Amino acid sequence: MWARVGGNVSRRLAFFIGERRFHLQRGSLGAWTAPVMGMAFAFAWTPCIGPVLGAVLALAYSRSTMAGGMLLLFAYSMGLGVPFVVTGVAFERLTIFYTKARAPLAIIQVLAAGVLLVFGALILAGDLGWLSAQFNVLLNGIGLHCSTTSGCFG
């Protein structure tokens, strides 16, 4: 009986698993193409960017000076925007680079998957704090203590 119930639940939840795509023909939206694509991109990124933006805004609010908060928000904005601008400017060159570097990128992809698996295991084991403490010691040892505390920005 439980297998039957579980099967019914998994079939009902199957809608939420995977990805959904709209298949539009090129130019079918006319002048609305860019705004619609921008809204779709923003909708997809909201779960990723929301918590980080919330944390940055909270840190900026808690700064003792307005300049400190503005510096945090500026750094966040530059970190978010500059990669997109650089990618847009260098898109053709990056496309050529990626076609030539397919084999090394596959190796990087496997290494990244390994890092994600290690992080997942640390989270499951409840030892992510240990890794954070080790990085804190490492950064303090090489003189980058400001990157481990928010006290350096006012």
List pLDDT tens digits, range 77-101: 998 889 889 888 888 888 888 788 7
pLDDT classification of 24: cutoffs 50, 70, 90: low
Is residue 145 within 8 Å of residue 139, measured between CB atoms?
yes
Distance from C-alpha of 1 to C-alpha of 9, rounded to nearest angstrom: 12
- For residue 1, pLDDT beyond 90: no
- For residue 151, pLDDT beyond 60: no
Is residue 138 within 8 Å of residue 146, measured between CB atoms?
no
Distance from C-alpha of 53 to C-alpha of 76, rounded to nearest angstrom: 8
At residue 22, φ and ψ (nearest 5 deg) are -100, 130
The pLDDT value recorded for residue 117 is 94
Q: Is residue 23 helix, strand or coil?
A: coil
- For residue 137, pLDDT beyond 90: no
Place of tokens 């900026």: 60
The pLDDT value recorded for residue 102 is 80
Q: Which two tokens stand for residue 11?
A: 């079939």
